[in-house]
Chain A
Amino acid sequence: MTTTQTQNDIVEDFKVLEEDFEMTLNYLMEIGEKMDDYDEELKSDDNLVKGCQSKVWLSHELKGGKIFFSGDSNTSITKGLLSLLIKIFSGQTPEDILNTKLYFINKTGLCRFIGTQRSNGLEAMENKFKIIALSNK
């Protein structure tokens, strides 16, 4: 699946929420809860993406030229956001990751999680994925 296909699927999944803020938050927390368990030992400073109010850990493995990500967050909503990014980027080549534009954000009512508010760090998360891609190019 390409990053575009995954993003289109996400946009489709979010449609039922009709950009209702409360439903969106609850949905994010649900998909966050479904993430695979993350090894506590991986919660190191090297793997840390520091937002202002939440912590995210992201690690990766390289298999056959593709990068596979795993991660965790100390907040449920951020964990949901992280799970979306992992779904999009995991199993892609470094080039594909670097060339991906995250347009799903604007089409799912998640815009308030990026940009001027520093509190959540969606942008910092995206950067971390791309830095990992760049260093494995």
Chain B
Amino acid sequence: MNKYPLKKIRDDFPILSSKINNHNLVYFDNAATTQKPKSVIDSISNYYKNYNANIHRGIHTLAEKATEEFEQTRSLIKNFIGASSTKEIIFTRGTTEGLNLISSSLAKFHLKEGDEIIISEMEHHSNIVPWQMIANSNKLTLKVIEVSKEGEINIDHFKSLITDKTKLVSLVYISNTLGTINPVQNIIKICSQHNIISVIDGAQSSAHKKINVKSLNCDFYVFSAHKMYGPTGVGVVFGKEKILEKMPPYMGGGEMIKDVSFSKTSYNDLPYKFEAGTPNIGDVIGFKEAIKYIEDIGIENIESHEISLKKYAEKALNNIDGIKIVGTAKNKIGIFSFITKNVHYYDLGLLLDAKGIALRTGHHCTQPLMDKFDLDGTARLSLAIYNTTDEIDYFVDSLIKLMKR
């Protein structure tokens, strides 16, 4: 492996050279959203400057160019996650919309009264509420896999929840709060043995791990562009073609139709059946550059950089007296939720912000998980490709000073 081009990477992200409250920005809120490289920002601007047009229906040159660029993103994503066909790649506004698309559509034809759905205690609200909504409307039962005090899924408990009524399992790959990497491969295998549909929330995994939906063999994999150096407002649902074919549309409108009359409408083919209305063209095009950016560095190189950063941060945090890390799974990424003995996380977040350090505080949209750990929130540090050990040193140093006040 070549030397990791950290300096070049940092130079590629214009925001990283900005000053926050008179300090150099230290951006540790990557699990909420990552920063964007110049290539992404420029490509969005280039679209609006040079070939803005609505896609798929236009016959003029600009529409052709916009359609081509848009569809190139779809092909690139297909290859990036190892899908079989671009028919399996549906654009959404983000992971949340993706999960809502899957749940609403499946609620219309597959999930019937008495059926059971399994999620886990560590799910983001986005992977709880959509299932609760259809559980209420369709009279389904929602079952929840237990999480250990270290923040790991209890596989035996999962197995014990499966009955002949279990129709679907929806699980987060990497927890946004704990950083735990779940054994999704194992879970998916069990699902397919029992003919259960598997949905993987890939919001936190797609920028940090090599993803191959074929080897995972999941039925659905959902993620967002903005957590992988791309723009906000774009997400992807991967779904196996044979299931997507059977699923009814999520929304009605333009693009998703073949023919419309007042007596009957026939729907378009995949993936367009699920893409009603004018999509977020400029940002989908920007997303292409984000994928290229990740591929240029190499996901394996990113992974090894982030693993060494994680180990460095873990060691440093463990050396601080009066700090408790929430989520100590053996297999985890560089996400550290923590509380301190004497400083409330809200004060901590503001005081660190005054030092130029951006991190997240609160319940991280995982309130049931917080209840489980008897907390109302934590401070959370989350690492990405451009973070450095110097930044971790500065953070730890600032944190120790604040805790000594």
Contact = CB atoms under 8 A, between A and B. Distances in A.
Interface of A: 20-22, 25, 29, 52-54, 74-78, 119-120
B84 interface: no
A53 B354 contact: no
Contacts of A29: 347, 405
B21 A119 contact: no
Contact of B347 (A20, A21, A75): A75
Contact of A54 (B22, B346, B351, B353): B346
B362 interface: yes
Interface of B: 21-22, 343-347, 349-351, 353-355, 361-362, 377, 405
A75 B346 contact: yes
Contact of A76 (B344, B353, B362, B377): B344
Given A77-B346, A77-B350, A21 B21 contact: yes
A76 B351 CA distance: 11
A22 to B, nearest CB: 4
A25 B350 contact: yes
15 contacts: A20-B22, A22-B351, A22-B354, A25-B351, A53-B349, A53-B362, A53-B377, A74-B344, A75-B344, A75-B347, A76-B344, A77-B347, A77-B351, A78-B346, A120-B346
A53 B346 contact: yes
B346 A21 contact: no
Contacts of B361: 53, 119
Nearest to A53: B346
Given A21-B353, A75-B346, 20 more contacts: A20-B22, A21-B21, A22-B21, A22-B351, A22-B354, A25-B354, A29-B347, A29-B405, A53-B345, A53-B346, A53-B362, A74-B344, A75-B344, A77-B346, A77-B347, A77-B350, A78-B346, A119-B346, A119-B362, A120-B346
A98 to B, nearest CB: 29
A78 B354 CA distance: 16
B362 A52 contact: yes
Contacts of B344: 54, 74-76
A74 B343 CA distance: 10
Contacts of A77: 346-347, 350-351
Contacts of A21: 21, 353-354
A28 B343 CA distance: 14
Nearest to A118: B362
Contacts of B345: 53
Contacts of B377: 53
Contacts of A22: 21, 351, 354-355
A17 B99 CA distance: 47
A20 B347 CA distance: 16
Nearest to A113: B350
B24 to A, nearest CB: 15
A53 B349 CA distance: 11
A75 B377 CA distance: 12
Contacts of B21: 21-22
Nearest to A54: B346
Contacts of B351: 22, 25, 77
Contacts of A76: 343-344, 347
Contacts of B362: 52-53, 119
Contacts of A52: 362
A49 to B, nearest CB: 14
A119 to B, nearest CB: 7
Contacts of B343: 76
The 10 A-B pairs of least Cβ separation, nearest first, read A22-B354, A75-B344, A53-B346, A75-B346, A21-B21, A21-B354, A54-B346, A76-B347, A53-B362, A75-B347
Contacts of A20: 22
A97 B327 CA distance: 46
A38 B350 CA distance: 24
